[in-house]
Amino acid sequence: MQYMKPQTAAEVSDILARSEGAARILGGGTDLLVQMRSGMIEPETIVDIKHLDGIRDITSEDGGLRIGAAVSGQRLGEHEGAKALWPGVVEACELIGSTQIQGRCTMVGNLCNGGPAADSVPAMIAAAAVVRIEGPDGPRDCPAEDFVTGPGKTVLGKGEFVSSVFLPARPKAASDAYLRFIPRTEMDIAVASAGVNIELADDGTIKSARVAIGAVGPRVILVPDAADAIIGSKLEDPAIAALVRACEAASSPIDDKRGTAEFRTTVVGVLAKRAARIAMTRAGENQ
């Protein structure tokens, strides 16, 4: 096994493109090291990307924020600008792992794992985040909702890796929220989850919305019907009922050790409802 510490994106791409055995990116390493220690994977090459320029930075860009691939949950959680602009994304990212894990784990790693229960992903998708991919042909962008193609699978090709995620600008009267259900209070993986992003019109009705749900299908699902259900409303009961129905209808969960399909389908609607109310309240406070 070899450990590489490249300084530029081009070098990273080059190493990944030329590697013959399995090559893995080391950002926070909170999944990689666990997988290696448990014997799940035995990579030939580990590419530590923490030394790339800007990879550990949160930078303002076009009114939005670019989050480097090696920015830890802890750092994001302490960033006032991020908390003000995208509180739902920040709270989702802060739910990954324990306090100790927060010092290392990254939103990008959470995304690249390709897990349907990844906490930060529904929030990112609801936020219309854009993933910056570096590769042999230079950088390209991919909407967060298109990045994961199936459990553990992503759009990344040979030689490609994610260098950052961009959270776009948004008007003042807007906000987002993320909720997950776990049987405990922490140190767990979502049994169902929902991220809701809301923008209000001047009259206080919802002008636009995005709703994404997690752990209820092979990948995190963007649910346009759920967004349509609340657009134009102030989250009155019929709108909420339609939101819940849309989330339930979009779910295709399985029975497993973490919960039954029936439970997940019911609870994902409850979470979407509650997250929508939180996002609504936050947006109203920003108005």
Partner 1 sequence: MNFQSSSKQDFKVVGTRVARPDGVDKVTGRALYGADFNVPGCQVGLILRSPHAHARIDNIDTSEALALPGVKAVVTSADWGVPEDEGLRDVQDNCLARGKVLYDGHAVAAVAAKDMVTARAALKLIRVDYTPLPHVTDVDEAMKPDAPVVQEARADESVPEGSGPNVTHYCEFGHGDLDAGFAKADTVIERSFTTAATHQGYIEPHACVASYGNDGKADLWCTTQGQYLVRDLCAGIMGMEGSQLRVTPSEIGGGFGGKTTVFIEPVALALSRKAGRPVKIVMSRVDVFRATGPTVSSSMDVRIGMTKDGRITAGEAKLRYQGGAFPCGTVDMGAQAAFAAYDMEAVRTRGWNALTNRPKEAAYRAPGAPMAIYAVESVVDELCQQLELDPLDVRLKNAADAGTKASYGVTFDQIGLRATLEAAKEHAHYHAPLGENQGRGLSCGFWFNFGGNTSVSLAINADGTASVTEGNPDIGGSRASISMMAAEELGIPYDKVRTFITDTGSLGQNDVTDGSRVTFAVGLATIKAARAAIQVMCARAAKIWGIDEDAVIWEDGAAKPSGPNAGDFEPMTLAEIAAISSETGGPIAGHHEVNAEGAGVSFGVHLADVEVDPETGATTVLRYTVFQDAGKAVHPDYVEGQMQGGAAQGIGWALNEEYIYDEDGRLQNAGFLDYRIPVASDLPAIDTVILEIPNPGHPYGVRGVGETPIVPPLAALSNAVSRAVGVRLHELPMSPPKILKAIMAQG
> Does 225 contact partner 1 by CB under 8 A?
no
> Does 101 contact partner 1 by CB under 8 A?
no
> Does 184 contact partner 1 by CB under 8 A?
yes
Q: Which is nearer to partner 1, 102 or 163 (CB)?
A: 102
Q: Which is nearer to partner 1, 42 or 61 (CB)?
A: 42
Give the number of residues in contact with partner 1, rule: CB under 8 A: 21
H or E element: which one contains 208?
strand 206-214
Q: Which of residues 16-45 bind partner 1 (CB under 8 A)?
A: 38-39
> Does 84 contact partner 1 by CB under 8 A?
no
Q: Which of residues 260-279 bind partner 1 (CB under 8 A)?
A: 260, 262-263, 266-267, 270
> Does 258 contact partner 1 by CB under 8 A?
yes
Considering only residues 11, 48, 188, 228, which one is a binding residue for partner 1 as defined by CB under 8 A?
188
Q: Exposed, middle or buried by CB within 10 Å (0-12, 13-18, 19+), for 173?
A: middle
> Does 202 contact partner 1 by CB under 8 A?
no
- CA–CA dist 222, 189 (Å, integer): 20
Measured CA distances, 12 to 40, 133, 163, 266, 287 (Å): 24, 12, 10, 44, 44
- CA–CA dist 102, 40 (Å, integer): 23
Q: Min. distance of Cβ 137 from partner 1 in angstroms? A: 38
Measured CA distances, 83 to 40, 63, 145, 228, 283 (Å): 36, 14, 22, 26, 13
Please give the backbone phi and psi of residue 121, each rounded to the nearest 5 degrees, phi first: -75, -45
Residues that bind partner 1 (CB under 8 A): 38-39, 181, 183-189, 191, 256-260, 262-263, 266-267, 270
